């Protein structure tokens, strides 16, 4: 049995003091939004409670599907780098970036460089290289192949869309086929939900049809995403059977907000090629934020 934990939308806080230069960009709108809205609902203590519970259940691997920062400032990137080091070894944690990790031009390069050990494929160079395509990447852990895709792009103010382009689609198909031929259970990690209508137009993923074709052509057993801060299950057409597409609430969301309280998925993967078995347990923060309890069990 292989146990895979999944969190997303860490939005590590609190927001640090930003320089005037850093605020003279799209960050000013995010800065105002944080203090008006997110600061009331996203708590660092909530994330710590979730991570403590994950550690107790001792998963084999942890998948994090983006939005680790809020405004992608240098101080935030450094704080997340330290948080990741405390969370675990890069061998046991796989990360893909979200739109907040590419909040302004240049941020995407800074975050992928800083967190490269957690985004490096098994066959990737040991050191991050500028202008090299880091995504998709593939990591094989036991019977599982984790394929990390990126939809993170800098967008104008009041937009949070993502992009999955032709180059990445072709490369992802190749990785999925190779992993399938090797007999691995294939898990695709992506930030934006690859489902039409899953979020509003200004937050959608551009390339949804392309991603669907990638899954049906390359094959997969599970797709994980974040972005919506919701606990959801959708389906995409696979090669032989429908593929579950699973979203999760923000890992820092306090209870009693407009979105579901912080949660994580714990998947148990058993079986063998052609006869895989997948069970999900979703654990969520209690209403009084004192602990985490089992909220739902699903067998796919």
- Say what the pLDDT of residue 103 is: 86
- For the residues 191-197, what does the mean pLDDT come to? 97
* pLDDT tens track for 153-176: 988 877 889 999 999 999 999 999
Contacts of 211 (CB under 8 A, 6+ apart): 164, 169, 190, 194, 205
- For the residues 178-186, what does the mean pLDDT come to? 98
- For the residues 242-271, what does the mean pLDDT come to? 94
- CATH code for the part of the protein at 2-14+20-124+131-268+283-299: 3.60.21.10
* pLDDT tens track for 45-55: 899 999 999 99
- Say what the pLDDT of residue 289 is: 82
Task: Tell me the domain boundaries of the chain.
Answer: 2-14+20-124+131-268+283-299
What's the longest Cα–Cα distance across the chain? 57
- Say what the pLDDT of residue 105 is: 85
What's the mean per-residue pLDDT of the chain?
90
- For the residues 181-202, what does the mean pLDDT come to? 96
| Residue 205 bridge partners (DSSP) | 162
- Pairing type for strands 137-141 and 162-163 reads unpaired
- Say what the pLDDT of residue 31 is: 46
pLDDT band at 82 (very low <50, low <70, confident <90, very high): very high
User: Above 70 in pLDDT, residue 29?
Assistant: no
Report yes or no: 264 and 282 within 8 Å, Cβ to Cβ: yes
Report yes or no: 139 and 122 within 8 Å, Cβ to Cβ: yes
- Say what the pLDDT of residue 72 is: 83
User: Above 70 in pLDDT, residue 34?
Assistant: no
Q: Which of 3-17, 115-129, 166-180, 254-268 has the highest mean pLDDT?
A: 166-180
Report yes or no: 37 and 76 within 8 Å, Cβ to Cβ: no
Predicted TM-score (pTM) of this structure? 0.92
Top pLDDT among 65 and 288 is at 65
Report yes or no: 268 and 3 within 8 Å, Cβ to Cβ: yes
pLDDT band at 71 (very low <50, low <70, confident <90, very high): confident
User: Above 60 in pLDDT, residue 24?
Assistant: no
């Amino acid at each position: 049995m292989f146990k895979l934990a999944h969190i997303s939308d860490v939005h590590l806080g609190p927001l640090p003091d930003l320089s005037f230069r850093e605020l003279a960009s799209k960050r000013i709108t995010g800065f105002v939004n944080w203090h008006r809205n997110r600061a009331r609902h996203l708590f660092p203590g909530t994330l710590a409670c979730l991570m403590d519970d994950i550690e107790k259940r001792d998963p084999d691997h942890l998948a994090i599907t983006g939005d680790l920062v809020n405004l992608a400032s240098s101080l935030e990137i450094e704080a997340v780098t330290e948080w990741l080091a405390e969370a675990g070894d890069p061998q046991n944690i796989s990360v893909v970036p979200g739109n907040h990790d590419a909040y302004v031009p240049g941020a995407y390069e800074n975050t992928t460089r800083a967190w490269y050990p957690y985004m490096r494929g098994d066959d990737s160079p040991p050191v991050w290289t500028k202008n090299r395509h880091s995504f998709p990447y593939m990591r094989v852990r036991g019977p599982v192949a984790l394929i990390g895709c990126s939809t993170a792009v800098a967008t104008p103010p009041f937009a949070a869309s993502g992009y999955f382009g032709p180059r990445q689609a072709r490369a992802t198909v190749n990785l999925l086929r190779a992993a399938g031929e090797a007999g691995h259970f294939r898990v695709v990690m992506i930030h934006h939900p690859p489902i039409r209508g899953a979020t509003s137009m200004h937050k959608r993923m551009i390339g949804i049809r392309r991603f669907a074709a990638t899954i049906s052509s390359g094959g997969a057993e599970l797709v994980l995403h974040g972005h919506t801060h919701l606990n959801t299950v959708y389906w995409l057409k696979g090669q032989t059977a429908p593929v579950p597409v699973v979203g999760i609430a923000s890992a820092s969301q306090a209870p009693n907000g407009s979105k579901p309280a912080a949660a994580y998925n714990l998947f148990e993967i058993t079986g063998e090629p052609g006869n895989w078995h997948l069970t999900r347990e979703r654990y969520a923060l209690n209403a009084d934020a004192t602990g985490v309890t089992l909220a739902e069990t699903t067998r796919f």
